[in-house]
């Protein structure tokens, strides 16, 4: 049997040095690729990619589109490992009451276009019962 071994990493970890040290151990132990936690900041992704260039394994970017201000605040404050920048949460707070999902699709598509040269793939995690967002994002890219 052939297995493809993936491992997880958090590019916005509070202790990025420790995260990269653990990631190196995972790659040394045989991981073939890295799946990231959801990322919302291009600069953080750039820093992470630069720091792991020597690992020589593909990076698959985790993308979880936001559906509104409450969703952004919940993920930021209640889900360990997810960091949504203040500027992004502010944009959702000022979005029209029914415009959060559309803004989430737009921002996600832009982020994927900008991140494409840095990663070898991406995986979408649409919010609960908002599966159509994945189709909308792929259509917008």
Residue with the two structure tokens 């073939």:
32
Low-confidence ranges of the chain (pLDDT < 70): none
CA atoms of 69 and 88, how far apart (whole Å): 9
DSSP states of 48-80 as a string? HHHHTGGG---EEEEE----SHHHHHHHHHHST
Name residue 62's beta-bridge partners. 38, 123
CA atoms of 86 and 18, how far apart (whole Å): 24
Of 18, 16, 12, 44, the closest CA to residue 118 belongs to 44
**What is the strand order of the sheet 33-38 is part of?**
6-9, 33-38, 59-63, 121-124
Q: What is the pLDDT of residue 62?
A: 96
DSSP 124: E
Q: What is the pLDDT of residue 1?
A: 80
Q: pLDDT > 90: what percent of the chain?
A: 77
Q: What is the pLDDT of residue 65?
A: 94
């Amino acid at each position: 049997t052939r297995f493809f071994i993936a491992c997880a990493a958090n590019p916005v970890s509070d202790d990025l040095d420790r995260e990269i040290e653990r990631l190196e151990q995972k790659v040394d132990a045989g991981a073939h690729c890295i799946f990231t936690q959801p990322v919302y900041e291009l600069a953080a992704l750039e820093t992470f990619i630069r720091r792991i260039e020597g690992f020589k394994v593909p990076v698959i970017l985790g993308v979880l589109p936001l559906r509104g201000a409450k969703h952004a605040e919940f993920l930021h404050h209640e889900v360990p490992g997810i960091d949504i920048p203040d500027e992004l949460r502010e944009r959702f707070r000022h979005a029209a009451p029914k415009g959060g999902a559309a803004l989430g699709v737009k921002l996600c598509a832009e982020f994927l276009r900008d991140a494409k040269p840095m990663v070898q793939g991406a995986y979408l995690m649409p919010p609960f019962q908002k599966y159509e967002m994945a189709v909308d994002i792929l259509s917008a890219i």
